[in-house]
Structure 1
Amino acid sequence: MGRGLGEARPDREDGPVTYEAVVLDGPGAWRLEPLGAEPPPPGEVRCRVHAAGICGSDRELFDGNRPAGYVRYPLTPGHEWAGTVEAVGEGVDPALAGRKVVAEGFRNCQRCERCRAGETSLCTAAYDETGFTRPGAFASYVTVPARLLHLLDEEADLSAAALLEPSAVVASAVLKGAPRPAERIAVVGGGTLGLLAVQLLAAYSPAELVLVEPRQQRAEQGGRFGATRQLHPSDAGAEAGRFDLVVETAGAAHSAALAVSLARRGGRVALTGIPAPGAAGIDPIALAMQQTTVYGVFGAPSEAWSYAVRAFGSGVLDPAPLITHELPLNAYDKAVSLVGSGDPEVGKVLLRP
């Protein structure tokens, strides 16, 4: 059997390692390019990618819909990944070699006021993120700063761990929303983020944990993850003003407005979805009169990453059931087309170099 595309191979027994990576030259224009696995620079590590997830922002890259300031073509996409450290650069602890890891995507500066306050996802330096402005993980190898690594247990399932990036985003929303036991909580949207949110929020022993989701299959999966009840968006009006905390993950045209309407007076809302332009707005008068606290979430700070990794290691968070497709690098375009296709059978799609 021949070597699969994306599989690393030695040019000779003691020679350099070459591999193939997805290169997106521009919207819709991609290729597999052979590259050499260079030694990592000082302070960085080279990791062998086990699996990399595809999300809506990766489809934006492919379709050309991502704002210009948040992409730099040509690039190798891939910001959701898990793998194993294979080589370390100067100044990096050699003991990291061989460890299973994930890594934060934001290349935060560590110097600005927000970074120094621990709010690394609010870094005021120029936007810089693995898979968008730096080479990502749709390749056999990815090189990242060692300071961004989070170590996994030796027995960790690396395919499931590839979902720790969206898990960290959800963890950020949960930390901002500060759920308390016996509260009434709603999650709007039953995609990957929503179902991960259900898992994390169920651990807080809410009095109610309602998943608002139109797709029956996703709604039922939410029940298996800890949702006490499922609600179709068309029936959500009757639930307005009931919930202490609402976590919105759908990114649909009306989901943010729906999430705010579900919150009780003085309630909290965390918005993680990013809708297309023209989405329904939120009434500022209602926000003021209802004294609603609204949190926006984009990416995740280091604190949220640590929380997600701990939840994964303890078994509180189990992303594996969300994975429905694992495809090789040479099926990159097919994998992207599955994401956002609307097919209820499509959950999380992974690329496996």
Structure 2
Amino acid sequence: MVNASAHAPVPDDVRAAGRAVLVERPGRHRLVEAPRAEPGPGEVRVAVYAAGICASDREVYAGNRAEGYVRYPVVPGHEWSGTVEAVGPGADPALVGRKVVGEGFRACLVCDRCREGATSLCTGGYDETGFTRPGAFADFLVLPARLLHILDDRADLRSAALLEPAAVVAAAVLAGGPRPGERIAVVGAGTLGLLAVQLLAAVSPAELLVVDPRTERAEQALPMGATGVCAPPEAAGLRSRYDLVVETAGAPTTAHDSCLLARRGGRVVLTGLPGPGARGIDPVHLSVSQLTVRSVFGAPPAAWAHAVRAFGAGLLAPTPLITHELPLEDFAAAVALVGGGDPRVGKVLLRP
């Protein structure tokens, strides 16, 4: 782990007020102070322990997140861990003092998709912590108690801050339905890819390949359960080999290339979000090979529960993915690290 910045003691009066990183508009932010918000009916207030920064947060700050998926001004932060500090009317008082993580989507719970349990497909309109609601780049976070997932009292909250991306990966794994003895490939060795390797290794595949042009990043997957790594040019020679391919990179060609790696009748799950101009999937190949292609955006409660159980059982060990920890005051530097392209930079945490 690289400690990119020391944590100076925070005065009690500042802690009482509560600080938050407010992005007023693209490219402009400031650290603000405000009284600690009191949780309303059915809500809790969480003291944030750590919050991860991902590409979506970088998009919020740069101003290139898709229209309708951010509402300025906003306090970002959708990957977090913390401890329940207070509960509002109707919330269980026993939650106070518990270590928790929490879902981000504020689903309506009444539409057909929500009633199916697919809250990430809610038709009531997009609403998510850190994008349209105040997020966790702050000392405190208020959210509905129903969104919490309770951790073991011995849980490492630093590692637990990565359970949001782990839940997304869990959604992809559940969608892909891996079976013991299958050949599986993971395209991308970023945070999502390395978490995917850990969950997939638990299924005992015959082969678990990681494809990434960054050799150093890809090789991190070997002690996590991967059986081999290679760069995209080498992967081109493995066409039609894999029963399941999980794409996590979101690069311009990775969705197209992932479908080529899958065997005839194989399965492909896409989790990356490529930008405009990405190379599309060949419809002829898709039809002739009879591939099953699924996509994942966010995670429903079942995927969160899967990730939290795997974390509690020791099947998910996110700690090696964390390379930098910075205080709230260094938000801009943290965002720059995430977007800098240095392969040595893994998961960057903000620590209130």
CA distance in 2, matches of 1:38, 1:54: 23
Paired residue type of 2:30: R
CA distance in 2, matches of 1:282, 1:116: 31
Paired residue type of 1:291: Q
Match 1:9 to one of 6, 9, 12: 12
Aligned-residue sequence identity (percent) comes to: 64
Whether the 8 Å CA contact 2:105–2:128 is kept in 1: the answer is yes
Q: Are residues 1:51 and 2:54 paired?
A: no
Q: Are residues 1:342 and 2:341 paired?
A: yes
The equivalent residue for 1:234 is 233
SS at 1:25 equivalent: strand
Q: Are residues 1:73 and 2:72 paired?
A: yes
Q: Are residues 1:270 and 2:273 paired?
A: no
SS at 2:180 equivalent: coil
The equivalent residue for 1:249 is 248
Whether the 8 Å CA contact 2:17–2:34 is kept in 1: the answer is yes
CA distance in 2, matches of 1:99, 1:33: 27
Paired residue type of 1:199: Q
CA distance in 1, matches of 2:73, 2:11: 22
Deviates more, 1:32-41 or 1:16-25: 16-25
CA distance in 1, matches of 2:11, 2:288: 59
CA distance in 1, matches of 2:212, 2:226: 11
CA distance in 2, matches of 1:247, 1:88: 39
CA distance in 1, matches of 2:343, 2:117: 38
The equivalent residue for 1:288 is 287
CA distance in 2, matches of 1:103, 1:339: 23
The equivalent residue for 1:191 is 190
SS at 2:179 equivalent: coil
CA distance in 2, matches of 1:215, 1:9: 44
CA distance in 2, matches of 1:150, 1:351: 21
The equivalent residue for 1:119 is 118
Whether the 8 Å CA contact 2:215–2:230 is kept in 1: the answer is no
Instruction: Provide, for residues 74-108 of structure 1, a one-character-per-residue CA deviation record: whole Å limited to 9, x for no partner.
Output: 01000000000000000001000000000000001
| Aligned-residue offset at 1:4 | 4.1
CA distance in 2, matches of 1:20, 1:121: 29
Whether the 8 Å CA contact 2:37–2:142 is kept in 1: the answer is no
Whether the 8 Å CA contact 1:80–1:164 is kept in 2: the answer is yes
| Aligned-residue offset at 1:68 | 1.8
The equivalent residue for 1:63 is 62
The equivalent residue for 1:110 is 109
Equivalent residues, number: 347
Whether the 8 Å CA contact 1:8–1:19 is kept in 2: the answer is no
Instruction: Provide, for residues 230-271 of structure 1, a one-character-per-residue CA deviation record: whole Å limited to 9, x for no partner.
Output: 111111111000000000000000000010000000000000
CA distance in 1, matches of 2:62, 2:350: 18
TM-score, normalised on structure 1?
Answer: 0.96
Whether the 8 Å CA contact 1:9–1:19 is kept in 2: the answer is no
Paired residue type of 1:31: R
Instruction: Provide, for residues 265-309 of structure 1, a one-character-per-residue CA deviation record: whole Å limited to 9, x for no partner.
Output: 000000000011000000112111110000010000000000000
CA distance in 2, matches of 1:340, 1:244: 33
SS at 2:142 equivalent: strand
Residue pairs, 1:165-176, within 5 angstroms: 165-176=164-175
The equivalent residue for 2:128 is 129
| Aligned-residue offset at 1:38 | 2.0
CA distance in 2, matches of 1:56, 1:77: 12
The equivalent residue for 2:3 is none
**Which ranges in structure 1 are unaligned for 5 or more consecutive residues?**
none
Whether the 8 Å CA contact 1:8–1:140 is kept in 2: the answer is no
CA distance in 1, matches of 2:144, 2:12: 24
The equivalent residue for 1:95 is 94
Instruction: Provide, for residues 27-81 of structure 1, a one-character-per-residue CA deviation record: whole Å limited to 9, x for no partner.
Output: 1100000111021000000000000000000000011110120000001000000
CA distance in 1, matches of 2:37, 2:75: 16
RMSD across aligned C-alpha pairs, in angstroms? 1.4
CA distance in 2, matches of 1:225, 1:102: 23
CA distance in 1, matches of 2:11, 2:198: 36
| Aligned-residue offset at 1:218 | 1.1
**Which ranges in structure 2 are unaligned for 5 or more consecutive residues?**
1-6
| Aligned-residue offset at 1:127 | 0.3
CA distance in 2, matches of 1:302, 1:202: 22
